[in-house]
Amino acid sequence: MTVDLGEAARQLVDGVNTGVLATNNPDGSPQMSVVWVGRDGDDLLISTAAGRQKDSNLRKDPRASLLVIDKESADRYAEIRGIATVTEDLGRVVAQQLAEAYAGPGAGQEYVDLPPEIIRTVIRITPHKVILHV
């Protein structure tokens, strides 16, 4: 069941705070990655390269948990649990947007300049549970 992200969690994501994405390895063990995160409505967006562990894990088991931590106060965070879909980042648009949000104007150019054989994907997490600590 999809849930509303809520204003406090939206503010954390929109505040350009780092996230920690948890996925499940094929053997059931956890795998975590530090990620940049954006938002499309209440869905969370992460960019990665096709074939990375998080990409592969979510294609096999779409359950994900994302912890977004306030850069000003580690006591303030949101854990968003949900189901992920993985699609190609056509034009590398999401990669560019996140790079510019986190690293500044022009930072997304490195994704534009990647060779065409390097495929970027978008991980879209639809929230099913939101746990806030604010």
Asked if pLDDT for residue 134 goes beyond 90, the answer is no
Number of Cβ within 10 Å of residue 129's Cβ equals 11
For the segment 55-114, what is each residue's pLDDT rounded down to a tens digit? 999 999 999 999 999 999 999 999 999 999 999 999 999 999 999 999 999 999 999 899
Instruction: Look at residue 33 and tell me if it is in a domain.
Output: yes
Q: Check whether 1 has a pLDDT greater than 90.
A: no
How many domains does one find in the chain?
1
Contacts 24+ apart (CB under 8 A), 74-79: 75/133, 76/12, 76/133, 76/134, 77/12, 77/132, 77/133, 77/134, 78/8, 78/9, 78/12, 78/13, 78/130, 78/131, 78/132, 78/133, 78/134, 79/130, 79/131
Which domain, by its residues, includes 86?
A: 7-133
Q: Is it the case that residue 46 has pLDDT exceeding 90?
A: yes
Does residue 94 belong to any structural domain of this protein?
yes
pTM summary value: 0.96
Which domain CATH number covers 71? 2.30.110.10
With tokens 């979510």, the residue in question is 58
pLDDT score, position 84: 98
